[in-house]
Amino acid sequence: MLKERAQSIFSLEAGLAGFDSSVIRLALVVTAWNMFQAHPLLGIGLKNFETALPLYAPTGMPLAVEMGPDHVLTVIQGPHSTYLSLLSELGLVGLIAFLCWELSVARRIVKCIRRQTAPRRQVSDRTL
């Protein structure tokens, strides 16, 4: 089963287990890209992927899939990628803001690490 699942990622054979999941994930990438192309600057709006899905999805793509051992029908809420979600929902402005936030966090971490590893100055009795 695991071997077939791995093969389904790189194959378009409908008989393999996991084929539907792989095709749906590819369709979600296409859908997110379509949303971004239609609204590149500000996107379709935060948390609107599920609402806009029928407008931008490829023909025949399901809007809900069966999940888990009980085959519960679950509505698709996003493209399964943080960056695709940002692009489709918030556009370039949101993606740039997110990347700037990540950069500022990384800079702060580097500063903290440098402070901890820097040699500490000795406090002399005269400065007190």
Model pLDDT for residues 19-60, shown as the tens digit of each residue: 577 788 888 999 999 999 999 999 999 999 999 999 999 888
Is residue 113 assigned to a domain?
no
Model pLDDT for residues 69-121, shown as the tens digit of each residue: 887 888 899 898 888 999 999 999 998 999 999 999 999 999 999 998 877 66
Is residue 48 assigned to a domain?
yes
The residues, ordered by sequence, that sit 6+ positions from 81 with a Cβ below 8 Å of its Cβ are 29, 32
Contact predicate 79/88, CB 8 Å? yes
Is residue 103 assigned to a domain?
no
Is residue 84 assigned to a domain?
yes
Is residue 118 assigned to a domain?
no
Helix (H), strand (E) at residue 72: strand 72-75
d(C-alpha 112, C-alpha 121), whole Å: 17
Q: Which domain holds residue 56?
A: 2-92
Is residue 121 assigned to a domain?
no
Q: How many domains does the chain have?
A: 1
Residue with tokens 């901890």: 116
Is residue 19 assigned to a domain?
yes
Is residue 104 assigned to a domain?
no
Q: pTM for the whole thing?
A: 0.68
